[in-house]
Structure 1
């Protein structure tokens, strides 16, 4: 029995010896990808030109600028040119005649005082600012989603690679146990356990391969094309940290710069201007009118000599009673202003919450990265110890393979923690109001361009 244990120990030592370099990241295998490598910044540039959410937000921002210009136009002079030609036939006791009449007029109207129109312009001016902030918020949100899907692809490929490597290792171990069992040098329980493990891993490979395809399709949805090239991975030679800023400084920066908050601040301004415009319905309006007219038609369509008329006038309109509709509208607009103010308060609280959550989560992830590296090193030592113990007959084959699986799990956890950290940093930048391009550029420095991940070696 001791001889059998030594023989199996030597064989399982070869079968379970997985060359996992500490901190190395596994390479994509079984993934349809080109030999080229792209990084987050490249996909961000493509998404800016292809993501429908970003394009739609830009269009709304441009529309807001045009609506502002339209509202401004109502404050400027309104000039109209009118022309008319009539055929007139007249009959009476003295005369029966037909003639053509011509009327030409040029009219200029300019408000001298119109509170409603002025406040309406202020409303659309604030709405244009709100659209600009909403466009920036949409771009920031889309950037976070792009990063999340980017690292989801990497995580899915990691999962596939690790499962495939574990399957190859377990299958070769099973082949060797089958050969030993045929010589009555292995236990039937080891053979059955290994067979069950192989079958389970084979099923997991199918799910993992499908998840890779699904995650890449989700990434393609944003950039507008199939993403088949390799993706740059997080470098393992860096000490990842959130920043030297304190949480309080992040919160202050977010409250001052967050585009969603700025959009809601503009929304409060919009509501205030709309309320003032509504109140303007109680105010008088004063306007100047200048007109010039040329006509050969007089009173009661009578033919007269061609006459040129020039008129300058000032008109005053004082609203007295409109059935209570103006007052009701003002009360409704006042409630709209309260709603906008409460929405602003809600968004401000959310900004503080999201910044706090992203900062603390990223900070914890940075510490977890170091802990995960130690856990991986411990798992490697545990696997080596299990192999040695098996050689002395102290553990069985399944214990050895369990230690191998734990090593893969530790590697997977390390990679996931790195991806969670980077995603949370981008989320933190988003809520703090950092420009999306600047945020992606800083994170992209943590990626390893053009360097494929290290292959998981198969035992020979």
Structure 2
């Protein structure tokens, strides 16, 4: 029961330090608190994911980043389109003349101009660069969506694993408590030595400490999930004991690696960054080239004073601007962009290698998970048989209480390991699909089919 971790911890502390108050009143109060904290409906993986899509800060940041990147296209296009400028002036002039004496008059005018770039290699390259900027933005956003699916799934199953640890710790403690009580009774009738009782007491105290640590870890895992969804979750659906163990399709690590190198979204974003850097070099080199603009303008000027007149001027011109020397700035900027291109290429190579490693690790993780699940299922059968044999030996005096408790602990640990292995199998499958660029919300729905409501919900 994930949401009950704080209450359970309080009850353990009461049980340890105030045994004299372990009466029906406190038990009834504690039970009422549990019932009050228990939600009407447990949440499944898809519900958690849908909430995360709305609330996750990292995904919201990715959305904003993509929207910002999309402004690169109109910004680049603006460098190829006409620019229209309007200017006006109004002057109040006082004039002293030997002919006409002192006078005050106004000068007014306006200037309307349209500038159309005819040749601007920098603007052309900026527009071409915007194509790769949009590709990078889409790939980065898609990778963020896939990363959210994986983060939600990892956090969800980490909560379930932490809950399993609590349940197994609690079951182990209860078993030790029963054996401790049996040891006390057997000691009272002289069947065992006091050392067996002390060993049982020590193991029980250790079990209590283990349970407290497990409850704390469960609370921590819930906090991690809260970071993604912005909400606290009291109860989650559990994974069924039987889930299909399916091998990756297509089979073969190399096939999955080839798919990942073509479709991995983070790698696509890194490759787009290389193309952006290439265009940045061209943009900087363009500052060495001349620009040609066509300028259309109309001007009106109304001049007062002794020579008052008004005139209109319309003109069309072609302006050539040739950069001669900028103090070495342009050359330095070209060198800078060339080094940044090398940087982006190395980052893309790192992303390529990481993609290959992630794919191969996840593929092996899926196959290993299948083998581990099958092996642990068999191990539980043999471990349970061993426990029954040990308990029988304890009854006839050939095995000690420690042997029984160790056998019980081994069974509980095997069950916990089996549950954790099932979670890891699912997560590795998701990691494999994320590396291949094929992870989608449909995978959440497929997993959701194998989740079930807890008996305690």
CA distance in 1, matches of 2:81, 2:441: 40
2:71 is paired with a residue whose SS is helix
Considering Cα pairs closer than 8 Å and 6+ residues apart, tell me whether 1 or 2 has the greater RCO: 1
Out of 423, 427, 444, the position equivalent to 2:427 is: 423
Q: How big is the shift at 1:174?
A: 1.4
Q: How big is the shift at 1:439?
A: 3.4
CA distance in 2, matches of 1:302, 1:217: 84
Please name the residue that 2:451 is paired with: 448
What RMSD, in angstroms, separates the aligned Cα atoms of the two structures? 2.2
Q: How big is the shift at 1:143?
A: 2.7
CA distance in 2, matches of 1:339, 1:388: 69
Please name the residue that 1:235 is paired with: 240
Mind listing any 5+ residue stretches in structure 2 that lack a counterpart? 1-33
Does residue 1:137 correspond to 2:143, yes or no?
A: yes
Q: Is the 8 A contact 1:426 1:443 kept in 2?
A: no
Does residue 1:161 correspond to 2:167, yes or no?
A: yes
Matches within 5 A, 1:91-240: 91-95=96-100, 96-228=102-234, 230-240=235-245
Q: How big is the shift at 1:303?
A: 5.0
Out of 250, 263, 280, the position equivalent to 1:257 is: 263
Runs of 4+ aligned residues of structure 1 deviating over 6 Å after TM superposition are none
2:241 is paired with a residue whose SS is coil
Q: How big is the shift at 1:99?
A: 1.4
Q: How big is the shift at 1:302?
A: 7.3
Matches within 5 A, 1:52-451: 52-95=57-100, 96-228=102-234, 230-245=235-250, 246-297=252-303, 303-445=307-449, 447-449=450-452, 451=453
Q: How big is the shift at 1:379?
A: 0.8
Output one character per residue of 1:72-113: Cα deviation in whole Å (capped at 9) or x when no partner. 212111012222211122222112321122212211101010
Output one character per residue of 1:171-206: Cα deviation in whole Å (capped at 9) or x when no partner. 122123212322223332221111111111011111
Distance 1:223 1:303, change over 3 A: farther
CA distance in 2, matches of 1:271, 1:225: 41
Mind listing any 5+ residue stretches in structure 1 that lack a counterpart? 1-29, 456-460
Matches within 5 A, 1:24-35: 33-35=38-40
Output one character per residue of 1:198-236: Cα deviation in whole Å (capped at 9) or x when no partner. 1110111111111111111111111011111x2222222
Please name the residue that 1:23 is paired with: none
* Structure-1-length-normalised TM-score: 0.87
Q: How big is the shift at 1:454?
A: 8.5
Q: How big is the shift at 1:453?
A: 5.3
Q: Is the 8 A contact 2:179 2:401 kept in 1?
A: no
Q: How big is the shift at 1:63?
A: 0.5
1:313 is paired with a residue whose SS is strand
